[in-house]
Amino acid sequence: MEATFVLYPNMTALDFVGPYEVIGSVPVVSTRFVAATLDPVKSDNGLSVVPTDTFASLKSTDIVVVPGSSHWRELLRDSGGVVEWLREVHPTTKWTTSVCTGSTLLAEAGLVSKATTHWAAREDLSVRGVEVSDDRVVFDGKVVSGAGVSAGIDMALRLVEAEFGEMVAQAVQAGIEYDPQPPRAYDSIPPEVIDGLKAAFESRQVRPD
């Protein structure tokens, strides 16, 4: 089985690295990285990743993983070919997945009816006609979405369980020693912290003309 991770400028590194470690731990899975060109792609925090394939060369795959970005509204204005490629490849996939604001790209491509995303981007899903969930992982047919950033690990484990069974998922979880113990849920974080984060996220967005 082949899993393909979508790369584009200003993607969030953990959005694809987390699922990559989970899905890539399954021995029967081979991995690819697809982008507009074969040039290295830099994440929003500066990590560079070299693609193995381009949107023009890769026309089918079993699993697609679409990471999000802290610059998601800019990306929605010009995805650099990501949205078009997703529309093209989706009919060939067994699973089409997203992490964080990557679900807004699936929504822009018209591929999802119910999804989750980072809490700061829920409105961007809603205005695209998607039923927005605050669950950490959402299955919508063969489309699977994970909430913000670290939820990509949870999404990938749920995907491995759905595809390969509970024992395989448990083995992968034990292998990466994933035992999440977050200090608090989003809803219990002080409002002033959330307001500061929202301001930081907004400062990265490109406003419509």
Query: CA-to-CA distance for 93 and 99, rounded, in angstroms?
Result: 17
Query: CA-to-CA distance for 88 and 184, rounded, in angstroms?
Result: 40
Active site residue 71: no
Phi-psi region of 55 (alpha: psi -120 to 50; beta: other; left: phi over 0): alpha
Q: Is the dihedral of CA 18, 19, 22, 24 positive or negative?
A: negative
Q: Are 11 and 68 in contact (CB under 8 A)?
A: yes
Q: Which of 64, 100, 106, 153 is catalytic?
A: 100
pTM here?
0.89
Per-residue pLDDT of the chain (209 residues; tens, 9 = 90+): 999 999 999 999 999 999 999 999 999 999 999 999 999 999 999 999 999 999 999 999 999 999 999 999 999 999 999 999 999 999 999 999 999 999 999 999 999 999 999 999 999 999 999 999 999 999 999 999 999 999 999 999 999 999 999 999 999 999 999 998 765 566 677 788 878 877 877 777 743 33
DSSP state of 11: B
Domain ranges of the chain: 2-203
Q: Classify domain 2-203 by CATH architecture.
A: 3-Layer(aba) Sandwich (3.40)
